[in-house]
Amino acid sequence: MTKIFFGTDGIRGRVGDYPITADFVLKLGWAAGCVLTRDSGANRRVLIGKDTRVSGYMFESALEAGLIAAGVDVDMLGPMPTPAVAYLTRAFRASAGIVISASHNPYHDNGIKFFAADGYKLADSVELQIEELLGQPLHTNRSEDLGRARRISDAVGRYVEFCKGALPSGFSLSGYKIVLDCAHGATYSAAPKVFKELGAEVVTIGAAPDGFNINDGCGSTHMQPLQREVLENGADLGVALDGDGDRVLMVDHRGEVVDGDELIFIIAAFRARLQSGCNGVAGTLMSNLGMELALADLGIPFERTAVGDRYVIEALKKNDWHLGGENSGHLLCSDINTTGDGIIGALQVIRAMAERGVTLNQAKQGMSKFPQLMINVPRVKFIDLAADRDIKRAVLDAEQQLGSRGRVLLRLSGTEPLIRVMVEGEDDVLVDRLAHQIASTVRQRVV
């Protein structure tokens, strides 16, 4: 069976456009409650967290009603980072965790993400079971068999302590001045607490959500405000999170952006010095070739997966590795949390800096990034990229010009109506020209 609603990261779209509607999410809560708690016995409990979008209130209520109708107890966490929900699902021994978020998208989008009882994202087979039940009539339990709801008042504090506990006992950020951009999103409360309680001097921006300003000119998708604040405040570094807190990018003291690939390399290079070592890293098709080569120089195996942190997690499980991620800032330290965690990732990078006695700029020097350009082409209609003759010709021509030290990658976005065109090579001028040529060809074929 082919999934209809679930994409690479749950169900996502524009609010008001089916299926991101109140009636659908109500039924989704019911269907998910029935499927995810089938084997839970008496402990039929699901956690719900959300980011700061104005539509989150509506979908929170819809999910709550659907779950309760299915006889499932609901713990309401309020605004909570996605990785916090993954952690708390395990900590509460819940049957599942649900996050209402569209991650780095604008406020007018929203979505629903699910975690199984073990804190990992759902298997394809489970998502198919939920979709199958969505085609059945919604059945409301009798009063004596309904679920109950409660609000968890100390959820933020629990997650803050979890993040701090991921560092060695006694580790301190005293002496560090850090600018923190929370993207007006789900980390606005937890993230400043973590860094301040660890002893850092923290300058916080993007921490005044109003329901509409999430990811708006801030956070990991808009790095300029953080770069400016780091320079103006003479900070040691800056940390940019996205709307739901599962991504992180950083800025060094010179105002230069340090992307996800560089952050992964910094953590890997540090762990390779420890007795436990770093036995491998999982990246994606988008991971920079420079990272792969730098890891090879350290003797660290590297494996590419399809784009999406769920595929990175699968590779980590398969290889019994603990470190992976994407250049967009999804950092996976699976020995600490079961999903991408922006705060945990930033802390691991800062630990590597502190214990080596280097700046963020110095820590990334072991890796030389290849010039890489990605262009997002909006698509009006679906197209088979591998079968279109004009697109295939443009890609082949580019690959011939790049030779063995470059790559071309075209893929459909799993979360937005976009085609992502990526070109990578040693010559930035050539990369720029080829990327725009291919994007122009693609644009002509999808409008």
**Angle of CA points 69, 71, 74, to nearest 5°:** 90
287 tagged catalytic: no
Q: How many CA atoms, within 13 angstroms, populate the side-chain half-sphere of residue 195?
A: 29
Write the burial class of residue 150 (CB in 10 Å: 0-12 exposed, 13-18 middle, 19+ buried): exposed
Task: Identify whether the C-beta of residue 247 lies closer than 8 Å to the C-beta of residue 103.
Answer: yes
Q: Please tell me which residue in 95, 101, 103, 328 is annotated as part of the active site.
A: 103
Helix (H) or strand (E) holding 114: strand 109-116
Task: Count Cβ neighbours within 10 Å for each residue of 407-422 and write b for 16 or more, e otherwise.
Answer: bbbbeebbbbebbbbb
- Sequence length of the chain is 447
Beta strands in 317-430 (DSSP E): 323-325, 331-333, 372-378, 407-412, 418-424
Cα gap 285→396, rounded to integer Å = 18
Task: Identify whether the C-beta of residue 254 lies closer than 8 Å to the C-beta of residue 361.
Answer: yes
Question: How do strand 201-205 and strand 177-181 relate by DSSP bridges?
Answer: parallel
Task: Identify whether the C-beta of residue 270 lies closer than 8 Å to the C-beta of residue 351.
Answer: yes
Annotated catalytic residues are 103
